[in-house]
Amino acid sequence: MAMHSQTTKKPVYKPAVIGFGLIILSILVAMSGPLGSRIGWWSYDFAIDILKWSAYGGIVASVLCLSGLVAARPGGKRRGFVFSLLGLIILVPMLLFLQSWKEAELSSPPIHDISTNTENPPAFWSAPNTQTYNSGIAVWQEQAYPDIQPLVLPVSTDKALDLSIGIIRDKGWKLWKPDREENHVEATATTFWFGFNDDIVIHITAIGEGSSRIDMRSTSRFGGGGDGGTNANRISSFFKALKNAAGSS
């Protein structure tokens, strides 16, 4: 009984508990940055500063939890191993996400208007987007995203338009009234964290018998710099879904 009493009364390794608490706080602060910017509490730049400081807090917390893995290891004289292990399991995905987001921001070109047709990009007719495509960014786009090209499908223009509208709805984008005579459709996507509005235009042209060429343009309304690859990734994802839909139909 005496041995059991001593085991249950082992002192807690306080840095492990502090590290776990700091991890929870860092995650909550990191989430508050973009969400606060989205609802207008503070600016985008301030939200970025919040993300940076939450990452620094997470790094300090990880050091504390790592020390807890050693000092409070099973069979040791202090408790807190579970706090340390759980804290690191929670923290690692957040740090990896912030690091990947930072790398995307640094490695992406300073452009936020991506089009599969850089010589004659589709224009916005319905979406409230005043962005005029700057032909000077075409070189940057071709270097950074050489895979962003028009999509050719063995379906009619009407079918391609219907499939495009279906995917827009599946993705939860705001659909603007399609122009079926011109095979033209627009949409607006809202980013998850910051709530930025990015506008999309899809224009379809017939090529030969029963085939269609789909051109797509995705543009951020916000800012004048880079988008971290968001618009290029959106086009790639949309075209992948469109090819799958055309194949299954």
User: Residues 14-28: pLDDT tens digits?
Assistant: 999 999 999 999 999
Pairwise CA distance, residues 89 & 210, whole Å: 53
Provide CB contacts within 8 A for 6, sequence distance 6+. Answer: none
Pairwise CA distance, residues 128 & 176, whole Å: 10
Task: Indicate whether 198 and 88 sit together in one domain.
Answer: no
For residue 23, the SS3 value is: helix
Residue 225 has pLDDT above 80, yes or no: no
Closest CA to 98 of 20, 34, 171: 34
Residue 45 has pLDDT above 50, yes or no: yes
Instruction: Supply 131's token pair.
Output: 């962005």
For residue 32, the SS3 value is: helix
Task: Say what the pLDDT of residue 223 is.
Answer: 61
User: CATH no. for residue 219?
Assistant: 3.30.530.50
Task: Indicate whether 118 and 241 sit together in one domain.
Answer: yes
Task: Indicate whether 130 and 166 sit together in one domain.
Answer: yes
The total number of structural domains in the chain stands at: 2
Task: Indicate whether 154 and 230 sit together in one domain.
Answer: yes
Task: Indicate whether 76 and 129 sit together in one domain.
Answer: no
pLDDT digits (tens, 9 = 90+) for 122-166: 999 999 988 888 888 899 999 999 999 999 999 999 999 999 999
Task: Indicate whether 122 and 178 sit together in one domain.
Answer: yes
Q: What is the dihedral of CA 200, 233, 194, 122, to 10 degrees?
A: -20
Task: Indicate whether 147 and 237 sit together in one domain.
Answer: yes
Task: Indicate whether 36 and 144 sit together in one domain.
Answer: no
Task: Indicate whether 19 and 83 sit together in one domain.
Answer: yes
Which of 88, 107, 126 is where one domain is finished?
107
Pairwise CA distance, residues 185 & 169, whole Å: 12
For residues 8 and 29, which has the higher predicted lDDT (pLDDT)?
Answer: 29
Task: Please give the residue range of the domain that contains residue 133.
Answer: 113-248
Across 12-21, 36-45, 134-143, 219-228, least confident range: 219-228
Task: Indicate whether 119 and 163 sit together in one domain.
Answer: yes
Pairwise CA distance, residues 168 & 176, whole Å: 10
Which of 107, 141, 167 is where one domain is finished?
107
Task: Indicate whether 128 and 93 sit together in one domain.
Answer: no
Task: Indicate whether 158 and 178 sit together in one domain.
Answer: yes
Task: Find out whether 145 and 239 touch, Cβ atoms under 8 Å.
Answer: no
Tell me the DSSP string of 75-109: TSSSB-HHHHHHHHHHHHHHHHHHHHHHHHHHHS-
Pairwise CA distance, residues 184 & 112, whole Å: 22
Which of 49, 84, 107 is where one domain is finished?
107
